[in-house]
Amino acid sequence: MLSKRILTMQDLSCVGQCSLTVALPVLSALGVEACVLPTAILSNHTMFKKWSCLDMTPEIKNIMDVWEENDFKFDAFYLGYLGSASLMDIAKQCFKKFSADGAEVIIDPAFGDNGKLYPAFDENYVHCMKDLIKCADIILPNLTEACFLSGTDYEHDASIEFTQKVIKKLATLTNAVIVLTGVECNGEIGEIIYRDGKFSYVWDEKLPKRYHGTGDIFASAFTAEYVKSKDMQKACFVAGRLVGDSIRATSPDHGYGVNFEYVLNNIKRN
Ligand code: PXL
């Protein structure tokens, strides 16, 4: 049986579970073939007080040349934290050169949370991301990223009406389906999906704490489940459950990420 071949483009943080150290195990455990384009190599994620970062752009050019000669094609592209804005042009070239028939582009903008940009990013990164999401079939922003992309002031404890307004503004920038993640409402947490002008919702139990790296677990699991089933509601449900179960398996919060390994180890395969 052939599994779907996904190319994921994001950084490799050597310490602190996020980006590739999450994407690889989650994609594999959920039954898709994971290929990687590491966009940057960091000593650790940028929520620790210090980090180093090597931009992989020069080597990525070499990698892409060889891939072209080998005629590689991918069934889907999944992008997360890239590291620098110049990598977005490279991503666009990848979509052009390496798409198998019907390949979809799934982008987690992965540049901010809690109303703020991550430390390595600035307005130019947001500006370039606005352009990149035009190439996407599905985007997975949180409310912070949706606000930056749509030019809306972020609101803490935002209402569903405010969140829907932001989504509609964002939809003027891209034809992609918008899956807004980490939405909190009536003691639950979930996603708002905006597709063909209509909203739908996936809710699950909200846990008392938020942990670093959970956005990457969600995006990875969503991507794997979506490319297999093409069922977006199911993909949200499976991804949300993996995040919730990983948080339940983690205590206390130590900044290194959540214990998704425990959950993957016990996952029921379909
Ligand atoms: O989880 C998103 C992420 C990915 N990669 C790096 C990060 C972060 C969030 O802080 O710093 C390097």
What are the tens digits of pLDDT across the range 100-148? 999 999 999 999 999 999 999 999 999 999 999 999 999 999 999 999 9
Q: What is the pLDDT of residue 268?
A: 65
Q: What is the pLDDT of residue 251?
A: 78
> If you measure from the C-alpha of residue 81 to the centroid of ligand 1, how many angstroms do you get, rounded to a whole number?
6
Using the atom order of ligand 1, give the atom closest to the CA of residue 216.
1
Q: What is the pTM of this model?
A: 0.97
Alpha-carbon distance of 148 to 125, in angstroms, equals 10
33 confidence band (pLDDT: 50, 70, 90): very high
Q: What is the pLDDT of residue 208?
A: 87
> If you measure from the C-alpha of residue 215 to the centroid of ligand 1, how many angstroms do you get, rounded to a whole number?
9
Q: What is the pLDDT of residue 233?
A: 98
CA nearest neighbour of 67 among 87, 96, 26: 96
> If you measure from the C-alpha of residue 111 to the centroid of ligand 1, how many angstroms do you get, rounded to a whole number?
8
- Residue 248 makes CB contacts below 8 A (sequence gap 6+) with 207
Residues of the chain with pLDDT > 70, as a percent, come to 99
Using the atom order of ligand 1, give the atom closest to the CA of residue 53.
12
Q: Which of 12, 19, 41, 42 to mutate to test the pocket of ligand 1 (most atoms within 8 A of CB)?
A: 19
Between 1 and 95, the more confident residue is 95
Residue nearest to atom 6 of ligand 1 (CA): 45
Cα-based distances in Å from 60 to 9, 25, 63, 87, 240: 11, 22, 5, 9, 32
Q: What is the pLDDT of residue 262?
A: 94
Using the atom order of ligand 1, give the atom closest to the CA of residue 212.
1
Q: What is the pLDDT of residue 223?
A: 98
> If you measure from the C-alpha of residue 67 to the centroid of ligand 1, how many angstroms do you get, rounded to a whole number?
27
Residue ranges lining ligand 1, Cβ < 6 Å:
11, 13, 18-19, 42, 45-47, 81, 110, 118, 213, 215-216
